[in-house]
Amino acid sequence: MTRRLPHLLAVTSAALLLGAVLSGCGGDGETPPSDVGAAPTAGECRDLSARDLGELSNGAEPVDCAEPHTAETFLVGDLPGEVTDRLDPALDRWAFTTCTDGLEAYLGADESLVMRSILTWVFFRPSEEAWEAGARWFRCDVVAGGTRGARLLDLPTTVDGLFASQQVDDRWMACAKGASVDEGTRVPCSKPHDWRAVTTIRLGEAGDPYPGDESAEQITQDYCADSVGAWLGYPTDYDFGYTWFREAEWDAGNRRSVCWARTAE
């Protein structure tokens, strides 16, 4: 069987799924809405921008979920009692597991399906002002799109149980348009596309040490070559790509790589 690797090879930058929890960049000097005294509630909707995803906290007011909105709060609660610093790196790792598990349950999907969708989560903690006032809540919001600064997509009235059916609408699945996955534009699979995220591979379990860049990439490449070929029906000639994540994302809790098939389907 001939396997052709397009020039994309690995996508080494973290996707939104991981960028949301690892990002800590601030704004442009404008004063954001205050979150002091405003504990969030699960089920609330907000009209966030891609820029908001890079913030540690968010004080945007809820909007009617029947109106256009780009974010839905699917999980709220109290931070672990041992967290005494709102910038504690351990909080990022805790947030990854908490929001990832929560989103899977909310959508009615497993980890692999969520990673192959355009839906992901963003984690917000209290602002410094709210923290000093005693706030210790957290908020996980689901959003769609937003990679590389692209506009977030509007969500339905609720995404609760959106993936529970056997056939998920292509509007919510991840595809890419362009010569390569790395350089291409991420689009919903309901739009014209050249690549589709079709499978994932788990590289290790929760307590496992990072296998190293070379090993992580090689395992991903070998698996994706076979799994994409199977997904395409074992053609004699095909292109595939893969997205793998390095040690920082591994330490945050991610253990999966994503396989992409070159296909317009």
pLDDT tens profile 81-116: 999 999 998 898 899 999 999 999 999 999 999 999
Secondary structure letter of residue 70 according to DSSP:
S
Q: Is 72 helix (H, G, I), strand (E, B) or coil?
A: strand
Residue 30, domain member (yes or no): no
User: Domain of 182?
Assistant: 10-25+40-262
Residue 81, domain member (yes or no): yes
Residue 251, both tokens? 């330490």
Residue 54, domain member (yes or no): yes
Residue 32, domain member (yes or no): no
Q: Which residues pair with 71 in a beta bridge?
A: 46, 143
What does the alpha-carbon distance between residue 21 and residue 17 come to, in Å, rounded to a whole number?
8
Cα separation of the two ends of the chain? 22
Residue 2, domain member (yes or no): no
pTM score, two decimals? 0.86
User: Phi first, then psi: what are they for 106, rounded to 5°?
Assistant: -70, -40
Residue 208, domain member (yes or no): yes
Residue 156, domain member (yes or no): yes
211-227: per-residue pLDDT in tens?
A: 999 999 999 999 999 99
Residue 130, domain member (yes or no): yes
Burial 42-78 (b: 16+ CB within 10 A, else e): eebbbbbebebbbbbbbbbebeebeeebbbbbbbbee
Residue ranges in the chain whose pLDDT is less than 70: 1-32, 37, 148-149
What does the alpha-carbon distance between residue 200 and residue 27 come to, in Å, rounded to a whole number?
34
User: In the chain, how many domains are there?
Assistant: 1
